[in-house]
Chains A and B, each alone.
Chain A
Amino acid sequence: MYEPKEKQFKPRKFLKLAEKLIDDGKYEEPARIRTVVGRAYYASHLFVKERMKQAGWRIPDDHTVHNFVIDELLDNEISNIGSMLDKVYEKRRIADYYMDTPLKLAEGKLCVQIAQEIIDFIEQFPLKKK
């Protein structure tokens, strides 16, 4: 069952949560950073994916969607955003799967800022398929 568009969950809300959480001392730092990186990535990934769909891209509905979105950005001369998303994607992978790789607070903050930058850029310059 689908929600009407206006009721759909907005990916930006993930970013708001990440922004609040990153400095919230109530939670243990390593867990906080890993959660923040994940939310920052999904906020930017889902935002870009949604805008791609609106611009006419056919988006795969499986695990290949992550690389698909980055590749399309790199192909369509929006490579700066492709590189940014790849950076946050890489950190999100570490945050969720590599417990032996530490993540610093600065990296968590950088991911939040990059995610915001991606969303702002796409908002200002809507995607166009070449």
Chain B
Amino acid sequence: MSNLIDELTAEIQTSNSSYSSEEIANQIVSLVENDILPSAIDRIRLPRLPSPIDLRREHFKIERRRGKKDVDELENRVKFVQELGKLKRDYYFSDLTSVSFQAVDAKDFSQKPFFYDTKYLERKKDRKLTETEVILPKLEPKSFSDVSEREVEKPHELVTIDLGVSKKIFSDPNFERAIASVESRIREKFRNVPDISFNISLRQGIDEYTREKTIIHIKIPNSNFKEKMNYWLRIDFEVRNAIKAAGFEEADRKAINRNLVTHIESI
């Protein structure tokens, strides 16, 4: 039984006899993958999801009133919309979706994605930049007379890790696995949030000096309290899911969860 692509190939071959059917089929596939599919995905209009805090509230409400089955349905719906959104983003930013990261700074062992490996200019007040040194901001053409206006500030690192955490990563395989999973999740979910940054550090237990807690400090300087709370809730949720996804035994997962907290910063 012939399928659509076979019929289409045969049709095209009648007027292009110099090409083999395989060549024509490859061209059709390439056309669909590179032109038709991305623009179709780009045109899909996704429903607006409620904020993470509202979603969590909805989750609790449904769980109490209707039970697990309906919660699963809600989660599947949200997941479907999120996956479509991710697909849209991946196609749209296809050159920015590399998941490869490199260790860049021996001082704090922080990592950054390869696409961050751009040359940025440090702001120096007493020196005017030459035209070739200036990186032009997209969509904001400005007069060439004042080049300093077009300087690009060096972006912050998304995730930095303190030395104590790095040392523990080397000595504790479970900890290493948990941090790797959490860091990847943070990069995946929050790399597009403007001004957000994370620092992972260790703290001695309060009133329990033998205990060590891992703190994920979250900085979102240009957000109001409500926005900060929404992000905090979402980040904590993603962190716990990342730990769950790392596939620990129940007891190990519990121990990691108990000793890892997220903190929002006041600035």
- Enumerate chain A interface residues (CB-CB to B < 8 A): 63-64, 66-67, 70-71, 74-75, 77, 79-80, 82-84, 86-87, 89-90, 93, 104, 106-107, 109-110, 113, 117, 124-125
B60 within 8 A of partner (CB): yes
Given contacts A67-B205, A89-B206, A90-B263, are A83 and B232 in contact (CB under 8 A)? yes
Q: Cα distance A86–B236 when bound, in Å?
A: 13
Asked whether, in the complex, the Cβ of B261 is within 8 Å of the Cβ of A82, the reply is: yes
Write out the residue numbers on chain A whose beta carbons fall within 8 Å of the beta carbon of B206. Answer: 66-67, 89-90, 93
Q: Cα distance A75–B256 when bound, in Å?
A: 10
Could you tell me the dominant secondary structure of chain A's interface residues? helix
Measured CB to CB, the nearest residue on chain B to A65 is B207
Q: Cα distance A107–B266 when bound, in Å?
A: 6
Asked whether, in the complex, the Cβ of A113 is within 8 Å of the Cβ of B261, the reply is: no
Measured CB to CB, the nearest residue on chain A to B259 is A74
Given contacts A83-B232, A90-B203, are A125 and B263 in contact (CB under 8 A)? no
- Which of B213, B258, B267 is within 8 Å of A106, CB to CB? B267
Shortest B193–chain A CB gap in Å is: 18
- Enumerate chain B interface residues (CB-CB to A < 8 A): 56-57, 60, 203, 205-208, 213, 225, 229, 232-233, 236-237, 240, 254, 257-258, 261-264, 266-267
Asked whether, in the complex, the Cβ of B263 is within 8 Å of the Cβ of A104, the reply is: no
Asked whether, in the complex, the Cβ of A83 is within 8 Å of the Cβ of B261, the reply is: yes
16 contacts between A and B (CB under 8 A): A64-B208, A67-B206, A70-B261, A74-B258, A74-B261, A75-B257, A80-B56, A82-B261, A86-B261, A87-B263, A87-B264, A89-B206, A90-B263, A106-B266, A125-B57, A125-B60
Shortest B254–chain A CB gap in Å is: 6
Q: Cα distance A84–B231 when bound, in Å?
A: 13
Shortest A110–chain B CB gap in Å is: 4
Given contacts A86-B213, A87-B261, A109-B266, 18 further A-B contacts (CB under 8 A): A64-B208, A66-B206, A67-B206, A67-B208, A70-B261, A75-B254, A75-B257, A75-B258, A77-B240, A79-B257, A82-B261, A84-B232, A87-B264, A90-B206, A93-B206, A104-B266, A106-B267, A110-B264
Asked whether, in the complex, the Cβ of A113 is within 8 Å of the Cβ of B257, the reply is: no
